[in-house]
Structure 1
Amino acid sequence: MGLLKALKSKVLTADGAMGTLLYAYGLDNCHEEMNIVRPDLIEKIHLEYITAGADVIQTNTYGANSIKLARYGLEDKVSEINKAAVSIAKKAVGNRNQFILGSIGAIRGVRKSDTTLDEILLAIKEQAMVLINEKVDGLLLETYYDFEELTETIKLLRYETSLPIIAQVSMHEPGILVNGMNLNDALKELQDLGADIVGVNCRLGPHHTIQAFEGVELPEKAFLSAYPNASLLDIEDGRVIYESEVDYFARAAVQLRNQGVRLIGGCCGTTPKHIEAAKKLLQNLEPIEVKEAIVQKEVFIQEAEPSILEPLHEKVKRERSVIVELDTPRHLEIEAFVEGAKTLYNEGADIIMMADNSLASPRISNIAMGSILKLQHGIRTMPHITCRDRNLIGLQSHIMGLNALGLHDILTVTGDPTKVGDFPGATSVYDVSSMELISLIKQLNEGISFSGKPLRKKANFSVAAAFNPNVRVLDRAVARLEKKIEHGADYFISQPVYTKEKIEEIYEATKHLSAPIYIGIMPLTSFRSAEFLHHEVPGIKLSEEVLERMKACDGDKEKETAEGIAIARELLDAAAKHFNGIYLITPFLRYDVTIKLMQYIKQLDEQNKGVKANV
């Protein structure tokens, strides 16, 4: 009898966690390598679950693909590890009737940019073909937070095999996927793509897993599965633990059966004792044939309050727009900064931009200064948001705070690594890249949190992305811009450019893009600062001509400043011909220099009145 035929008339009990038990044995390295290093231990764990009453066991191959194995230098052992895993499972089953599922775990984490979908599918196919050829009874796709990865994997595997496919999503919030999709709709789509068993595993404990299934209808062409964690995790003496009584888990298994689930196992924290307790209560229960799902109340998501200020990415498409950067202080004296921001804004800057601890050195929070400028002085501000300093929790909290304060213009940046700043030993977080952060912010604009939970109201962010044109191969940088547009970037702000030729090159390479670009111009104030920028600041390169011109004035502060302004004006002449957007970076709080350049831009526009620049 095959797995699917058995599920037509029975509720089957699956095994529990493998990693939890290996972790308990003190093995916290590559668990899949144990298939060839400690096959006796893997067999022992399988036997414990079989003895506990599991009808279905899974191979120890969750991370046995080339991408995950590469972390341990084992990427060339995909076939060996997967073959060994199936062999061990078959040996443990012996002449018994347990079904063996080939476990295939999700690869994508929060940082989708680390690995392309094509690379993932290639790795999954390599692993799956070994499991299929070793004649497992089905393929178990588990712990998929990224719905696109799961759907594309099912398409791939359904083409390659007729074996039963079990497809399980993971959620941060009960009944809602990370992308905001309703669980019931997601499981229907997985069924329609060819999955034979659809369900949920990991992250949520029994209580929230049951809650999630209350809104799930019985599939027409598939069965339901659930592998909840033993409980929500806790940390004790630096180790992950799951507090759960086995009787509680067993009673929860019965409630899952009452929701129509027919394949019930366990994920993180579960042990043979949990499975044994669940089996005792499930073994005499018939499957549920009819169920009335609880219709999930649709959460009303308020539209974002319309902004009284036009988004810069719209304004710059038709007329001149100037963004001015003024870094917040490194110290607690803010009066000079506030005065500079007021002066620049009154001079005609569309917005005052503030970096987020640039060069990994602490400054006064840009959200704090942005609030002061907006609330006390009516100044429109744009804070940078770096991926370096905050994890996903901090990022969402920070961005929701910006929305609450009415600061709707933001620039996402990856952030300079901490080793270049004041605290080289500090941790760089980088949970996501700037590209992924753009997508997440646009998700907030739909009223959906990073975890998929409704926010009751849509945010209203206009999102700028960084552009570094000072690279050897500009086409590659432009390709990144195209990807950022796909992720939702509204417009781009470039690193400072120091040659007219580079500006022309940028125009030719980017004129096909749908999102406008602000060209960065940063006036030089001394030869020493010019050398520092050229040699030490990532993303900035000066031409030999500019360096020589500044060197010729070295030591004479007035001449150095005048020459720096002259160079910047020449660059503005070139930039204004092709770009409506100008981004002026104020050097070392010298806003008097920036004002001279703003006045020059006005002169240029007066001279060229009636001539429309290309965006």
Structure 2
Amino acid sequence: MGMLDRLFSSPDAFISDGGMETDLIFHEGAELPLFVSFVLLDNPQGREMLRRYARSYCDMAQAAKRGFMLGTPTWRANCGWGAKLGLDDAAIRDVNRRAIAFARDLRDNHPWRNHILIEGVLGPAGDGYAPEELLTPADATRLHSAQLEAFAEEEVDIASAFTITHPGEAIGIIGRARELGLPVTVSFTVETDGRLPNGQDLDTALGSVEAATGGYARYYGINCAHPDHFFDKLPSHWLDRIGMIRPNASRRSHAELDEATQLDDGDPQEFGVLSAQIARRLPHLRVVGGCCGSDIRHIEALIAAGA
């Protein structure tokens, strides 16, 4: 059985981590310019911080006897953000290769390694809270190709796009992954009203992406929103295609979170209960975890609640 097959054959959803960037910034004192976590790969102290963080979740997954999605610290390692960081395509490829090698080494040296998938993480080429522009699929392909090609060359188990704000970018990502034969998932973010930042409802967005890509995505997800923001907004006829939830710990809007100077980590126990309630509505849920403000307490709580 291949590693990815385990994700779809497991009787329980795999677990993932919480909000890595917010956790490392507010709990570990990490300095992440522009919210870029891959800079930690550049020095021994940063690599050790990432290693401790990932190991804690691998250990938790082992204790719970659950599969674990080990994501690379590459949410902003695309050509959209690379330009702001002075990185060209070659440098973006190098960053992603190093991140994958780091994750693979960590996985291969953990006793739970046969239950850990390497997840190539990508994010929007612009602001995940307030998109500066709505990309066409062609523009999205251009901005994400270097990263996706690195993922394919290094044979990550799956590529997961998080905090996507509009269908055009999702279509471009999935289309390029399809050309590369790379397994891929796309997770959208929603506002407090359950709609995408471009104002579109989930039903319309998922329908347009699914039609344009021939259903190539392994599943879709929702992340970077509190459970209350989307629990009653899930389109009923797409429930079997939503395979991942990674909610925020906070009920604040994206605009409020963007201005926050202190972490709002909500109530971990409530987070676990609400996540489990959503999980019970999704017949093909494959991955559960957290996003901004959440940490290992929140993931332990959702496991305890039965998510």
Q: How does the TM-score come out when normalised to structure 1?
A: 0.42
- What aligned pairs does 1:415-454 form with structure 2 within 5 A after superposition? none
Query: CA RMSD of the aligned region, Å?
Result: 2.7
Shift of the alpha carbon at 1:71? 1.6
| Preserved CA contact (<8 Å) 2:167 2:208 | no
Measure the CA separation in 2 of the matches of 1:51 and 1:209. Answer: 30
Q: 1:55 to 1:205 in 2, by over 3 A?
A: same
Aligned to 1:88: 102
Rg bigger for which structure? Answer: 1
Question: Could you tell me how far apart the structure 2 residues matched to 1:185 and 1:116 are?
Answer: 17
Q: What is aligned with 2:250?
A: 231
> Aligned pair 1:265/2:283, yes or no?
no
- CA 1:240–1:120: 2 relative to 1, 3 Å: farther
Question: Is the 1:188–1:219 Cα contact (8 Å) retained in structure 2?
Answer: no
Q: Which residue of 2 aligns with 1:312?
A: none
Find out whether 1:197 has 2:201 as its counterpart: no
Give the corresponding residue for 1:212. Answer: 233
Deviations 1:265-290 (A, max 9, x none): 111111112112222333xx7xxxxx
CA contact (8 A) 1:14 1:56 kept: yes
Cα distance, 1:210 vs. partner? 2.0
Among all aligned residue pairs of Structure 1 and Structure 2, give the percentage whose two residues are the same amino acid: 22
Report Cα offsets for 1:422-445 as digits up to 9, x if no partner: xxxxxxxxxxxxxxxxxxxxxxxx
CA distance in 1, matches of 2:139, 2:287: 31
Show the counterpart of 1:138. Answer: 158
2:83 corresponds in structure 1 to: 70
Instruction: After TM superposition, list the pairs within 5 Å mapping 1:352-391 onto structure 2.
Output: none
Q: Residues 117-516 of structure 1 correspond to what in structure 2 (within 5 A)?
A: 118-161=138-181, 163-192=182-211, 193=213, 194-202=216-224, 204-213=225-234, 215-218=235-238, 222-233=241-252, 239-260=261-282, 261-282=285-306
Task: Select the residue among 26, 30, 42 that pairs with 1:26.
Answer: 30
- Does 1 or 2 have the higher relative contact order (CA < 8 Å, sep 6+)? 2
**CA 1:276/1:112 → structure 2, altered by over 3 Å: closer, same or farther?**
same
Partner amino acid, structure 2, of 1:211? D
144 and 240 in structure 1: CA distance in 2 versus 1, 3 angstrom threshold: farther
Quickly say closer, same or farther: Cα 1:216–1:48, change in 2 above 3 A: farther
Would the aligned equivalents of 1:143 and 1:170 in 2 still touch at CA under 8 Å?
Answer: yes
Cα distance in 2 for partners of 1:235, 1:177 equals 16
Cα 1:91–1:212, aligned 2, differ >3 Å: closer, same or farther? farther
Relative to its length, the structure with more helix (as a share) is 2
How many Å separate the matches in 1 of 2:298 and 2:245?
A: 14
Q: 1:35 aligns with which of 38, 41, 66?
A: 41
- Work out whether 1:44 is the aligned partner of 2:52: yes
- Partners of 1:180 and 1:72 lie apart in 2 by 30
Task: Could you tell me which runs of 5 or more consecutive residues in structure 2 were left unpaired when the two chains were aligned.
Answer: 62-66
Alignment: residue pair count: 278
CA contact (8 A) 2:148 2:176 kept: no
CA distance, structure 2, for counterparts of residue 119 and residue 176 of structure 1: 23
CA spacing shift, 1:173–1:248, aligned 2, 3 Å: closer
Structure 2 Cα separation of the partners of residues 210 and 179 of structure 1: 19
Alignment partners' CA distance in 2, 1:87 and 1:256: 34
Alignment of 1:98 onto 2:110: no
SS at match of 1:112: coil
The amino acid across from 1:49 in the alignment is Y
Contact kept? 2:15, 2:288, Cα under 8 Å: yes
Q: How many angstroms apart in 2 are the aligned matches of 1:4 and 1:32? A: 28
Q: Secondary structure at the match of 1:241?
A: coil
In the alignment, which residue of structure 1 is the partner of 2:64?
A: none
1:508-566 deviation line (CA, Å, top 9, x unaligned)? xxxxxxxxxxxxxxxxxxxxxxxxxxxxxxxxxxxxxxxxxxxxxxxxxxxxxxxxxxx
Report deviation, 1:119: 4.7
Once residues 26 and 232 of structure 1 are traced to their aligned partners in structure 2, the CA distance between those partners, rounded to angstroms, is 24
In 1, the alpha carbon distance for the partners of 2:166 and 2:226 equals 20
For structure 1, the 5+ residue unaligned runs are 286-615
Q: Cα offset for 1:216?
A: 3.3
Describe the SS at the equivalent of 2:286.
strand
In structure 1, how many angstroms separate the alpha carbons of the residues matched to 2:190 and 2:230?
9
| CA-CA distance at 1:250 after TM superposition | 1.0
Cα deviation for residue 73 of structure 1 reads 1.9
SS of 1:159's partner is helix
Relative distance call for 1:223 and 1:256 in structure 2 (3 A) is: same
| Cα distance, 1:147–1:219 mapped onto 2, change above 3 Å | same
Check whether the contact 1:200–1:227 (CA below 8 A) recurs between aligned residues: yes
Q: Give the equivalent residue in structure 2 for 1:608.
A: none
Q: 1:156 to 1:42 in 2, by over 3 A?
A: same
By how many angstroms is 1:35 displaced? 2.0
Q: Is the 8 A contact 1:36 1:81 kept in 2?
A: no
Deviation at 1:236, TM superposition (A): 12
- How far the C-alpha of 1:105 sits from its partner, in A, is 0.4
SS at match of 1:239: coil
Instruction: Report the alpha carbon displacement of residue 238 of structure 1 after superposing the two structures with TM.
Output: 6.0
Q: Distance in 2 between matches of 1:35 and 1:16?
A: 19
Cα gap change, 1:235 to 1:130, in 2 (>3 Å): closer
Deviation per CA, 1:37-74: give whole Å up to 9, x if none.
32222122111222232621211000011320222223
Distance 2:220 2:15 in 1: 15
SS at match of 1:267: coil
Deviations 1:166-204 (A, max 9, x none): 1111112444234443313433443442111112111x2
Does the 8 Å contact 2:72/2:100 carry over to 1?
A: yes
SS at match of 1:242: coil
Amino acid at match of 1:31: S
